């Protein structure tokens, strides 16, 4: 049995090399007192959305969201882009996430992926990980963060609304 | 047999999808097959001998590789993960993985708004996880997926009911014990259509049952152990409170190293968790209180470290991000330990709390200056639960006032603050101070011992953006440490990183244990390397030394041995 599975897995890859980039049908609790279904959200909004996976214990993640925040007003005016910050903090720190965001002056919608369902569904190995979605599809994916990455990301967003 | 069934389900989907593709030119709107997946590999090539770093494993090459794929077709889904640990598993992962490979997970199911059905390997969590949580953490080599089935239904808006059952994944096998659970979560405002917008209420409850056929001829050990959890919460735009109370029926009493206390098996467990928060304009405050007593809950007797866990008992103190701060991480004490070796007195569990304030100091104020600054403060401490003993010597668990709630000896305390300031478009700085009190005997080895390390930490960190794409990051850290159980004394550390966004970065870091009491252990733990990003792929390569210590992700810790050598990691998702 053991050898069949990898064979099946590997077989699947070339056949469907054109893997579809779309958002999983998963609902998460948000800091706006509502539950948001990612797929429905992605299908209904007309502007580009940056989804940033972060955690309260992840410094590069926080640096990335701070960098977005510094330009967020400009970005929104020019492109209408929305930032959604998905906290993968588990029970240890999930209650911290919203307080930290407010203490940073962030005005993002925050989603709580407490048992990392969305992170797993998108095959994200580590945080920070950032994806750009537009009209229901994933357009761009980036792992890790270094200062300046936000410029590249914003270029991708600008290309979308041209 | 189960595997064959799931495989045939996979093959079924495969066929359906091929047909779907054939038809797709005719009906472009038809349900599409979606395939996603990812590869992650972490590898190391260890030095056999590098000063104090000795390596005894059979092979010098270790790697943990995960190949994962998931298929979705309308409401149906199926997926799996193949794992390889060759030639050995990376140090720190459970040694039972060494040299093995095989199917780590495999699952298939149906998901819609009203109902989810899943068979195979399942990740889930009830409430905050005190009663039940199954998850994967590759960095810890932890995967306690439930192997079995689960049904979740959402009959009305705001109500979710779940039932599940099976065994816990244990390396490439499964636990002896079976686990069954039921959970209810109710958002009262939605379910009862409460119009009042100001406050939102939720309640929940779970029951988890573990059954093993294990028979102990010496101890009277309950074969079935049940855990009940009751939860309630309320919140409005500024305030939130969540409480969870958990009661475990009579069970054995074990410590973090898998040892079971003689003549135990008649001690109940319980936990209480209260989370409160206030969020105002630019300010967030959090207070968390928790008590744990005999809450170690596993699907197999005598399981060690991260194996066969059924619930999740995270340390509630903040996770720090500087390398020297992580020399003293807290590890929650859910089981028993011996606080003073001389008298053989046992303690069970922990009691304590943690508070944090985050404040965004506005621009153009006295404290904030022209550009504003970000301030955070934290204070937390956890104690043994004290008890009154009948006798001075040889007091065993029998003599304990088992249900006491009195704060006993200190296990861990940390407090400190962090200030972050953006000076201009180019320069950002951060200053951090943290004080630690750390009972190393209990936290690292389950006792016995009372000495408590006291340590003070400071760090400055600066990020300088040379231009849009190029930047430098640097930090300097120092740790003053007194009464360290390994007599390691003071440390100094520095990091330098250069990055060319979004493609490449280079880093060099050194932790220097210059204050070690033993001259020959005043070692430099240096590391340098590079990371490359391209589209959805990331590759990093490094060389250096890893210090021995407790390595924690989330609330779970494992002891990582010292090592030296090359390391590489790669991940790609599609």
Q: What tens digit of pLDDT does each residue of B472-500 get?
A: 999 999 999 998 888 899 999 999 999 99
Distance CA A124, CA B37 (A): 9
pLDDT surpasses 50 at B394: no
Question: Per the CB < 8 Å rule, is A16 touching B468?
Answer: no
- Phi/psi for B36 (5° steps) reads -130, 165
Which tens digits make up the pLDDT trace of B52-98?
A: 788 888 899 999 999 999 998 889 999 999 999 999 999 988 899 99
Provide the pLDDT for residue B18: 40
pLDDT at A108: 94
What string of H, E and C letters represents the secondary structure of B252-311? CCECCCCCECCCCCCEEEEEEEEEEEEECCCEEEEEEEEEEECCCCECCCCCCCCCCECC
Residues of A whose CB is below 8 A from B356: 96, 99
pLDDT on residue B28: 43
Q: For residue A13, what pLDDT is reported?
A: 53
Order of all β-strands in the sheet with A49-54: A35-37, A27-30, A109-112, A82-87, A49-54, A129-134, A137-143
> Is A148 close to B470, i.e. CB distance below 8 A?
yes
The CATH homologous superfamily for domain A19-161 is Glutaredoxin (3.40.30.10)
* Cα–Cα dist B161/A49, whole Å: 32
Per-residue model confidence (pLDDT) at position B173? 95
Chain B residues touching residue A90 (CB < 8 angstroms): 129, 135, 312, 314, 554-555
pLDDT at B25 over 80: no
Taking CA–CA distances from B235, the nearest residue in chain A reads A33
What does the pLDDT read at residue B155? 95
The two tokens of residue A143 are 């792992």
Of A20, A4, A71, A129, whose CA–CA distance to B36 is shortest?
A: A20
For residue A3, the model assigns a pLDDT of 47
Pairwise pLDDT comparison (B278 vs B305), residue with the higher score = B278
Cβ-proximal residues to B110 (8 Å cutoff; 6+ apart), any chain: B75, B76, B77, B116, B117
Question: B4 in contact with A at a CB cutoff of 8 Å?
Answer: yes
The mean predicted confidence, pLDDT, of chain B is: 86
Q: ipTM for the complex? A: 0.86
DSSP string of B299-366? SSTT--TTTTB-S-----SPPP-STGGGGS------SEEEEETTTTEEEE-EEEEEEEEEEEEPTTBT
Which one of A102, A117, A149 has the shortest CB-CB distance to B502?
A: A149
**Least CB–CB distance from A98: residue in B40, B277, B469:** B277
User: How far is it, in rounded angstroms, from Cα B256 to Cα B298?
Assistant: 11
Q: Give the confidence band of B162 by pLDDT, cuts at 50, 70, 90.
A: very high
pLDDT over 90, % of chain B: 59
Judged by DSSP in three states, B24 sits in coil
pLDDT at B258: 63
Q: Which residue has the higher pLDDT, B51 or A98?
A: A98
State the burial class of residue B551 (Cβ atoms within 10 Å of its Cβ: 0-12, 13-18, 19+).
middle
Q: Give the other-Cβ count within 10 Å of B487's Cβ.
A: 12
What are the residue ranges in chain A where pLDDT is below 70? 1-21
3-state secondary structure of B128: coil
Please report which confidence band the pLDDT of residue B10 belongs to, taking 50, 70 and 90 as the band edges: very low
pLDDT of residue B214: 75
In B437-496, the residues whose Cβ lies within 8 Å of chain A are 463, 465, 468-471, 473
At B400 the pLDDT is 54
pLDDT of residue B390: 47
Name the nearest CA neighbour of B532 among B489, B491, B496, B500: B500
Beta bridge partners of B528: B508, B543
How far is it, in rounded angstroms, from Cα B473 to Cα B461? Answer: 7
Q: Which of B401-415, B448-462, B505-519 has the lowest mean pLDDT?
A: B401-415
Q: pLDDT tens for residues A42-68?
A: 989 999 999 999 999 898 999 999 999
- Please give the pLDDT value at position B490: 97
CA A144-A145-A146 angle, 5° bins: 135
Higher pLDDT, B525 or B51: B525
Query: What's the confidence (pLDDT) of residue B510?
Result: 96
Stretch B22-43: mean pLDDT: 71
Residues B44, B45, B49: CA angle, nearest 5 degrees: 125
Q: Name the residue among B426, B322, B505 with its Cα closest to residue A144.
A: B505
Does position B26 have pLDDT exceeding 60, yes or no? no
Asked if the model's pLDDT at residue B433 lies above 90, the reply is yes
Is B259 within 8 Å of B222 (Cβ atoms)?
no
**pLDDT value for B204:** 97
CA distance A149 to chain B (A): 5
Those residues with Cβ within 8 angstroms of residue B217's Cβ, 6 or more apart along the chain or in another chain: none
Nearest C-alpha of chain A: how many angstroms from B60? 25
Confidence of residue B23 (pLDDT cuts 50, 70, 90): very low
Angle between helices B2-23 and A4-15 (to 10 degrees): 10
Instruction: Select from A16, A59, A92 the Cβ nearest to the Cβ of B35.
Output: A16
- Using alpha carbons only, how large is chain A's radius of gyration in Å? 17
Mean pLDDT over B4-20 rounds to: 44
| Domain range summary for chain A, segments of one domain joined by + | 19-161
| Of B475, B474, B454, the residue nearest B465 (C-alpha) | B474
Which band of pLDDT confidence, cut at 50, 70 and 90, is reported for residue B334? confident
Minimum CA–CA partner of A129 in chain B? B536
Q: What is the pLDDT of residues B186-228, one digit of tens each?
A: 999 888 887 767 899 999 999 999 998 877 766 677 889 999 9
CB-nearest to B501 from A6, A20, A147 is A147
């Amino acid at each position: 049995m053991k050898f069949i599975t990898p064979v099946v897995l590997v077989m699947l890859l070339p056949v469907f090399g054109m893997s579809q980039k779309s958002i999983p049908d998963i609902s998460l609790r948000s800091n706006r007192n509502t539950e948001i279904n990612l797929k429905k959200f992605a299908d209904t909004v007309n502007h580009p959305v940056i989804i940033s996976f972060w955690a309260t214990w992840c410094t590069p993640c926080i640096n990335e969201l701070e960098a977005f925040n510094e330009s967020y007003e400009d970005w929104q005016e020019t492109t209408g882009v929305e930032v959604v910050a998905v906290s993968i903090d588990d029970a240890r720190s999930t209650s911290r996430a919203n307080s930290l965001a407010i203490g940073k002056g962030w005005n993002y919608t925050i989603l709580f992926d407490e048992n990392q369902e969305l992170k797993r569904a998108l095959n994200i190995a580590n945080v920070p990980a950032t994806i750009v979605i537009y009209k229901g599809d994933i357009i761009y994916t980036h792992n890790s963060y270094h200062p300046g990455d936000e410029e590249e990301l914003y270029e991708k967003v600008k290309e979308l609304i041209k | 047999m189960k595997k064959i069934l799931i495989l045939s389900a996979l093959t079924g989907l495969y066929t359906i999808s091929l047909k779907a593709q054939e038809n797709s030119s005719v009906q472009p709107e038809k349900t599409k097959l979606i395939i996603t997946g990812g590869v992650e590999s972490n590898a190391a090539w260890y030095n056999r001998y590098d000063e104090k770093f000795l390596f005894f494993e059979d092979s010098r090459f270790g790697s943990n590789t995960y190949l994962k794929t998931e298929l979705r077709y309308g409401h149906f889904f199926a997926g799996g993960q193949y794992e390889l640990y060759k030639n050995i598993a990376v140090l720190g992962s459970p040694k039972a993985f060494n040299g093995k490979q095989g199917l780590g997970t495999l699952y298939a199911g149906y998901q819609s708004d009203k109902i989810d059905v899943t068979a195979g390997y399942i990740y889930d969590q009830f409430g905050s996880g005190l009663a039940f949580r199954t998850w994967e953490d590759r960095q810890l080599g932890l995967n306690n997926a439930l192997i079995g089935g689960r049904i979740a239904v959402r009959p009305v808006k705001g109500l979710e009911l779940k039932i599940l059952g099976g065994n816990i994944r244990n390396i490439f096998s499964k636990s002896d014990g079976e686990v069954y659970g039921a959970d209810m979560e109710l958002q009262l405002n939605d379910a009862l259509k409460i119009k009042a917008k100001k406050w939102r209420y939720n309640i929940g409850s779970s029951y988890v049952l573990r059954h093993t056929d294990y028979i102990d001829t010496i101890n009277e050990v309950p074969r079935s152990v049940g855990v009940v959890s009751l939860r309630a919460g309320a919140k409005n735009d500024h305030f939130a409170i969540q409480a969870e109370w958990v009661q475990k029926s009579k069970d054995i009493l074990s410590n973090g190293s898998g040892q079971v206390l003689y003549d135990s098996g008649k001690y109940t467990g319980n936990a209480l968790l209260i989370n409160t928060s206030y969020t105002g304009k630019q300010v967030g405050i959090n207070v968390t209180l928790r008590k744990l007593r005999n809450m170690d809950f596993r699907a197999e007797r005598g399981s060690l470290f991260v194996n066969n866990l059924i619930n999740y008992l995270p340390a509630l103190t903040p996770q720090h991000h500087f390398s020297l701060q992580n020399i003293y991480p807290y590890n929650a004490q859910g089981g028993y330990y011996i606080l003073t070796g001389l008298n053989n007195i046992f303690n069970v569990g922990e009691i304590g709390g943690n508070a944090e304030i985050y404040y965004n100091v506005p621009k153009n104020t006295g404290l904030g200056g022209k550009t504003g600054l970000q301030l955070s403060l934290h204070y937390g401490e956890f104690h043994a639960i004290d008890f009154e003993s009948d006798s001075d010597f040889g007091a065993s668990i029998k003599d304990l006032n088992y249900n006491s709630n009195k704060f006993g000896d200190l296990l861990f305390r940390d407090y400190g603050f962090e200030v972050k300031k953006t000076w201009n478009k180019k320069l950002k700085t951060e200053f951090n101070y943290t004080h630690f009190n750390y009972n190393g005997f209990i936290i690292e080895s389950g006792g016995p011992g009372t000495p408590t390390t006291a340590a003070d930490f400071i760090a400055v960190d600066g990020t300088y953006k040379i231009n849009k794409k190029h930047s430098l990051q640097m930090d300097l850290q120092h740790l003053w440490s007194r009464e360290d159980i390994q007599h390691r004394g003071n440390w100094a550390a520095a990091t330098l990183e250069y990055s060319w966004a979004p493609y490449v970065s280079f880093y060099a870091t050194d932790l220097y244990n210059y204050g070690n009491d033993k001259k020959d252990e005043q070692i430099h733990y240096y590391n340098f390397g590079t990371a490359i990003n391209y589209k959805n792929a990331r590759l990093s390569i490094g060389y250096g030394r890893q210090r021995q210590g407790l390595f924690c992700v989330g609330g779970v810790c494992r002891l990582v041995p010292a090592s030296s050598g090359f390391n590489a990691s790669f991940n790609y998702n599609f």
